[in-house]
Amino acid sequence: AFFVAGVMGGIAGAFWVSNTAALSPEHFPWFWSLWLVGVILIGGVGSIHGAIFGSAFMVLIMEALQMAVLPMADYYPKLLIDFAFLKESAFGLAICAFLIYEPNGLAYRWWQVKNYFNLWPFSY
C-alpha cells in the first residue's frame, strides 16, 4: 500500500512539475507542511478517520475566523492586515489544546462516542 501510494504521488508530482514548467522553493511554503502535521495531530495519528476529522476541523476553524473577521474589516482595517497572524495563532492554539487535552485526537473521541452508543442499554 505504501509503495503504491508513493508511486501514485510520484506520478502526480511529475505531471504537476511538467505542467508548471518550473519548480522553486516558493511552491512549497513552510506553513502547508506544518498545517498537514497539525491536521494529523488534531485528527489522530494512525487512522484514516483522524485525517478526515482533523482536516474538517481545521477548515471549519479557518472559515469561522474568516467569517468573524471580514465583517469587522470595515470598522477595524488593521484587523484585516493582521488576519494572517490571527489564523496562525488559532492554528497553534488548536494544536496545543489538542496535545494537552485530547492527545489521541478526534478519531479517539469518535471511537469513544461510537462505543458508548453501541453499549448504551448495558454499560458493561
* Residue 86 belongs to a domain: yes
Q: Which of 83, 75, 35, 29 is nearest to 58 (CA)?
A: 35
Host domain of residue 41: 29-118
Give the whole-angstrom CA distance, residue 116 versus residue 64.
30
Tens of pLDDT, residue by residue, the chain (124 residues)? 889 999 999 999 899 888 888 888 888 888 888 888 999 999 998 888 999 999 999 999 989 988 888 888 788 777 777 777 888 888 889 999 999 999 999 999 999 999 888 888 876 6
Task: Locate all alpha helices (DSSP H) within 1-124, ordered by sequence.
Answer: 2-20, 30-43, 48-69, 77-81, 83-101, 105-118
* Residue 58 belongs to a domain: yes
* Residue 23 belongs to a domain: no
* Residue 15 belongs to a domain: no
**How many domains is the chain built from?**
1
Output the pTM of the full model.
0.72
